[in-house]
Amino acid sequence: MSAIAASPPAVLPWPQRLAVVLAATALGAVVYLGINAHPWRLPASLPRTVMDDAIGWRAWAIWPYWAMLLTGPALALAIRERALFYATLRAFALAAGLNAAIWLAWPTRIARRALPEGLDAWTQAAWRALYALDAPHNCFPSGHITVPAVAAVGFALQYPRARPAAALGLAALAPSVVATGQHYAWDVAGGLATATLGLLLAGAPSWRSVAPPAVICR
């Protein structure tokens, strides 16, 4: 008597995932830094909101800010299933393309504050590295939010039990983009919006709607 069993989804080996994530991260960084350093138009400032004033500026926020830079690539690297990994990558490419188009068409900037005296050596070094690498442009939408938001969806589909932890982790790290004075609250909303559009354009709702191929077992 025959029985039908579902075949397991194809797994992408971690060296290939690492190579793709590194390449995508490098390409994204080149595009971001290039547009940031050479805006096509005079960047405009956005109005501050009540949320900006409530969060304020925090010297220690540099650490969750840097941690969030690593969150997107780390979550993407953890996605083992080939189809899910490349669907997440496709969503990232679409969302990043939307961000780049907005940065080019409507460049924005934010006024940075001078670093205070009395910071410990490590914190000061982290701030100086940020200021040296990143000009105060490309504020809206925040790619710092877009990338981990897209990766978190793919990660949550790969590990359903980890969804609450992923959501709470991103929620805890996200305010750092405002607390470092790198972004306005508007930028966070914009980053979430482009992440959502990228996921929808990539077909995120249907990523797990198709049953895996079946094999006949005797």
pLDDT digit string (tens) for 13-65? 999 999 999 999 999 999 999 999 999 999 999 999 999 999 999 999 999 99
- The per-residue pLDDT for 5 is 55
| Average pLDDT estimate for 126-141 | 94
Beta strands in the chain (DSSP E): 3-6, 44-45, 108-109, 214-217
81 strand-pairing partners: 11
| Higher-pLDDT residue of 143, 5 | 143
Percent of the residues in the chain that have a pLDDT greater than 70, as a whole number: 91
Could you tell me the CA-to-CA distances from 61 to 20, 66, 70 in Å, in that order? 29, 9, 15
- The per-residue pLDDT for 132 is 93
Residue type, 139: C
In the block, which residue shows the tokens 């830079």? 69
pLDDT digit string (tens) for 71-94? 999 999 999 999 999 999 999 999
How distant is the alpha carbon of residue 166 from its chain centre?
Answer: 13
Structure tokens given for 190: 């914009």
| Average pLDDT estimate for 152-172 | 95
Mean of pLDDT over the chain: 91
**Strand 108-109 vs strand 44-45: parallel, antiparallel, or unpaired?**
parallel
- The per-residue pLDDT for 116 is 87
Does the pLDDT value for residue 210 go beyond 80?
no
How distant is the alpha carbon of residue 117 from its chain centre?
Answer: 31
Choice among 89-93, 147-151, 180-184, 209-213 with the minimum mean pLDDT: 209-213
Q: How far apart are CA 126 and CA 123, in angstroms?
A: 5
What predicted TM-score, i.e. pTM, was given to this entire model? 0.89
Structure tokens given for 153: 């969806």
Q: Which residues contact 42 (CB under 8 A, 6 or more apart)?
A: 107
The DSSP call for residue 66 is H
Does the pLDDT value for residue 218 go beyond 60?
no
Percent of the residues in the chain that have a pLDDT greater than 90, as a whole number: 85
